[in-house]
């Protein structure tokens, strides 16, 4: 018996890919109902927040939320009763910790800038909603001109590729701190990483490698784009960067994971976090950042603060700080 080779044309392949994309999109929408995630569905209906900044607009889109063990909220160095009181005040007493994932979007003229790109479809089923949020906002992935990465953890980077391992934002310049890029691409990083997090390294290397022709690096203190300054907030990762957006006399700091918990990061900034690669340095960074923001009354957007994560830092009378959520002006 002989077989005749099947020749698939470029047009047929593209049709198959488009059909699969449509299927995956429909399946993702259906899965939201199964998850019962009303907080995620809201991000598909509309933007979570839009604020006018100078002659541009800054929006927050939801990538969904993470599903983490409650142990993430139990650091060493705090009395049990004190911790219980803190978590109760912030309604963080459930069996799991489910931090929101807030993607910042800056639009000015023809420029469309994303600060981080979310988790994509291969990290957690409760995250990876950015493509649907962009679609609801009327933004095509191909129209994104710039991606600014705070760091290369999965929930911030893995959305760089789509379900086919193609570039999600094929026309965007992708900017990342030089030290952050070097760390993840270093051949020794995988072996030096605990086994539970080695997938973070493999995932970062595959995505950063796939996007290598799009990637440009920067150093802290540089103006990475007009009116956008790179701020040193290392500790969570070696090259973790926050971005200060300065336009029209107004400023907003996009902090990434430098402040990643609405209770602990503000009231106990020096306590170690299991998500930080250098807990001591991350604690010093949080303390310095909180002091600066409370003094300057600079607004912020936090990636893992309660959606939309927009507000200011206030000093508590008894010491430490607290996050005060604000509505867009």
Residue 26: pLDDT band (50, 70, 90) is: very low
User: Which pLDDT score is estimated for 111?
Assistant: 97
User: Which pLDDT score is estimated for 329?
Assistant: 56
User: What's the whole-number mean pLDDT along residues 82-110?
Assistant: 96
Range of the domain at 76: 11-325
Taking the alpha carbons of 280, 281, 283, 284 in that order, is the dihedral positive or negative?
Answer: positive
Is 281 domain-assigned? Answer: yes
User: Which pLDDT score is estimated for 230?
Assistant: 98
Task: State yes or no: pLDDT of 75 exceeds 60.
Answer: yes
Between these two residues, 180 and 41, which has the higher pLDDT value?
A: 180
Q: What percent of the chain is predicted at pLDDT more than 70?
A: 85
Is 225 domain-assigned? Answer: yes
329 closest CA partner among 266, 227, 228, 249: 249
Is 2 domain-assigned? Answer: no
Asked whether 203 and 159 are in contact (CB, 8 A), the reply is: no
Number of domains in the chain: 1
CA distance 207 to 154: 10
User: Which pLDDT score is estimated for 249?
Assistant: 82
Is 4 domain-assigned? Answer: no
Is 100 domain-assigned? Answer: yes
- Identify any residues that bridge with 202 across adjacent strands, giving them in sequence order: none
Q: Distances in Å between the alpha carbon of 201 and those of 62, 161, 187, 316?
A: 24, 15, 10, 38
pLDDT tens for 44-66 read 334 788 888 889 999 999 999 99
Is 6 domain-assigned? Answer: no
User: What is the domain-level CATH number for residue 146?
Assistant: 3.60.15.10
User: What's the whole-number mean pLDDT along residues 67-93?
Assistant: 95
Between these two residues, 202 and 2, which has the higher pLDDT value?
A: 202
Residue 254 host element (H or E): strand 250-256
Task: State yes or no: pLDDT of 16 exceeds 60.
Answer: no
pLDDT tens for 129-181 read 999 999 999 999 999 999 999 999 999 999 999 999 999 999 999 999 999 99
User: Which pLDDT score is estimated for 146?
Assistant: 98
Q: What angle do CA 317, 308, 47 make, to 5 degrees?
A: 155
User: What's the whole-number mean pLDDT along residues 237-241?
Assistant: 98
Task: State yes or no: pLDDT of 116 exceeds 70.
Answer: yes
**Rg of the chain over all Cα atoms, to the nearest angstrom:** 20
Task: State yes or no: pLDDT of 4 exceeds 90.
Answer: no
User: What's the whole-number mean pLDDT along residues 28-57?
Assistant: 53
Give me the phi and psi of 96, to 5 degrees please: -135, 160
pLDDT tens for 248-288 read 888 999 999 999 999 999 999 999 999 999 999 999 999 99
User: Which pLDDT score is estimated for 318?
Assistant: 76
Is 36 domain-assigned? Answer: yes
The mean predicted confidence, pLDDT, of the chain is 87
User: What's the whole-number mean pLDDT along residues 97-101?
Assistant: 97
User: What's the whole-number mean pLDDT along residues 62-88?
Assistant: 95
User: Which pLDDT score is estimated for 319?
Assistant: 76
Q: What percent of the chain is predicted at pLDDT more than 90?
A: 79
């Amino acid at each position: 018996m002989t077989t005749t080779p099947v020749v698939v044309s470029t047009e047929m392949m593209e049709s198959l890919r488009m059909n699969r994309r449509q299927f995956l999109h429909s399946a993702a929408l259906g899965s939201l109902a199964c998850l019962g995630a009303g907080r995620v569905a809201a991000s598909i209906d509309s933007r979570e927040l839009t604020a006018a900044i100078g002659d541009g607009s800054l929006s927050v889109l939801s990538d969904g939320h993470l599903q983490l063990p409650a142990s993430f909220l139990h650091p060493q160095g705090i009395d049990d009763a004190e911790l219980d009181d803190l978590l109760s005040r912030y309604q963080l007493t459930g069996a799991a910790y489910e931090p929101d994932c807030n993607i910042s979007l800056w639009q000015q003229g023809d420029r469309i800038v994303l600060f981080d790109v979310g988790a994509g479809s291969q990290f957690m089923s409760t995250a990876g909603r950015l493509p649907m949020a962009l679609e609801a906002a009327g933004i095509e992935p191909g129209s994104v001109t710039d991606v600014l990465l705070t760091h290369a953890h999965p929930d911030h980077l893995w959305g760089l590729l789509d379900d086919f391992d193609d570039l999600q934002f094929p026309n965007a310049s992708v900017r990342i701190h030089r030290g952050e890029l070097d760390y993840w691409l270093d051949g020794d990083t995988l072996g030096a990483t605990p086994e539970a997090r080695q997938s973070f390294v493999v995932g970062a290397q595959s995505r950063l490698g796939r996007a290598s022709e799009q990637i440009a690096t920067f150093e802290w203190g540089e103006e990475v784009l007009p009116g956008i300054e790179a701020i040193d907030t290392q500790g969570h990762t070696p090259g973790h960067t926050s971005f200060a957006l300065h336009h029209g006399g107004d400023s907003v700091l996009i902090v990434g994971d430098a402040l990643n918990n609405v209770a602990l990061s503000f009231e106990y900034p020096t306590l170690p976090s299991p998500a930080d690669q250098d807990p001591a340095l991350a604690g010093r960074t949080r303390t310095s950042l909180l002091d600066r923001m409370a003094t300057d009354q600079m607004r912020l957007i936090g990636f893992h603060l309660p959606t939309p994560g927009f507000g200011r830092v206030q000093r508590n009378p008894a010491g430490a700080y607290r996050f005060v959520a604000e509505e867009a002006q």
